């Protein structure tokens, strides 16, 4: 097994060679498990707001919470590239973007991600000029879910398609090493993948991207109270965990729960 450290440059160089399987992690054990499984890109996502902290959406996540979880993930010292999300309203100016990206790097992130294209391009340039690797995010932007009134597929209309093409090109020019495409219409995601010199990493954007990313609890079936169209759980972990806990509870009540073995 190749034990060399995965870098933004090696992720970018995988374009057209190796598809990227990326997942999220929010703590030490999951980061270590995903790294042992060979996942090359691990994201400490602001999705932790919903899947760990119980918030209704990602707009409630603070920079301090992102730092806390990034530090926990970084303690696993993964071979994978460890990226972290800049949370809502933490990159409204180039100065804020650099200052807060530096805080995530100090916590252990090796790259940062922010949502948007042309509207944040000065922030992206500032982050890159400081030497911090940048992962783009286009399409459905969860940090804008309240103003947009929900989640929907992007890029079906021509004007939206043209905007996404321009956003993607701007991110490339600003120095992004890859771009996450969330809920982008599959034909447009395929077109972007063909056009761009850097990898596209899809989530709910069809099969033709250079890679795919999922929220790990969604993949493992850890959140049965959420039903998502773009992901089919590969494991019913919540039910298995519930069954084990109930079996142990019964053994405790029967007086056998403390036995060795």
Can you name the residues that pair with 20 across neighbouring β-strands?
Answer: 211
Query: How far is CA 76 from each of CA 8, 31, 80, 81, 109, rounded to the nearest angstrom?
Result: 19, 6, 10, 12, 12
Query: What contacts 261, CB < 8 A, 6 or more positions away?
Result: none
182 is catalytic: yes
Determine the number of helices (DSSP H) and then strands (DSSP E) in the chain.
11, 8
Active-site residue identified among 67, 110, 182, 191: 182
Q: How many residues does the chain have?
A: 261
The answer to whether the Cα torsion of 149, 154, 157, 158 is positive or negative is positive
Q: Alpha-carbon distance 105 to 85, whole Å?
A: 11
- Are 109 and 78 contacting, i.e. CB atoms less than 8 angstroms apart? no
Query: What contacts 53, CB < 8 A, 6 or more positions away?
Result: 60, 61, 65
Which sequence positions are flagged as catalytic?
182
């Amino acid at each position: 097994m190749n034990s060399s450290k995965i870098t933004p440059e090696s992720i970018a160089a995988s374009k057209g060679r190796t598809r990227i399987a990326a997942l999220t992690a929010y703590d030490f054990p999951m980061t270590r498990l995903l790294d042992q499984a060979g996942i090359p890109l691990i994201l400490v996502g602001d999705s932790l707001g919903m899947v760990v902290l119980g918030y209704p959406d990602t707009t409630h996540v603070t920079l301090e919470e992102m730092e806390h979880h990034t530090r926990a993930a970084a303690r696993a010292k993964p071979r994978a590239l460890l990226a972290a999300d800049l949370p809502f309203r933490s990159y409204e100016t180039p100065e804020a973007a650099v200052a807060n990206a530096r805080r995530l790097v100090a916590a252990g992130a090796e790259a940062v991600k922010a949502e948007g294209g042309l509207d944040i391009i000065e922030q992206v340039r500032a982050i890159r000029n400081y030497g911090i690797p940048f992962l783009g995010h286009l399409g459905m932007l969860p940090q804008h879910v309240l103003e947009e009134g929900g989640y929907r597929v992007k890029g079906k209309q021509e004007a939206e398609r043209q905007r996404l093409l321009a956003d993607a090109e701007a991110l490339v020019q600003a120095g992004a090493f890859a771009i996450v495409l969330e809920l982008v219409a599959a034909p447009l995601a395929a077109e972007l993948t063909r056009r761009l010199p850097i990898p596209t990493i899809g989530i709910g954007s069809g099969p033709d991207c250079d890679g795919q990313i999922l929220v790990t609890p969604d993949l493992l079936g850890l959140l049965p109270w959420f039903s998502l169209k773009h992901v089919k759980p590969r494991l019913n972990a919540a039910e298995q965990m519930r069954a084990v806990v109930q079996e142990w509870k019964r053994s405790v009540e029967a007086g056998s729960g403390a036995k060795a073995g």
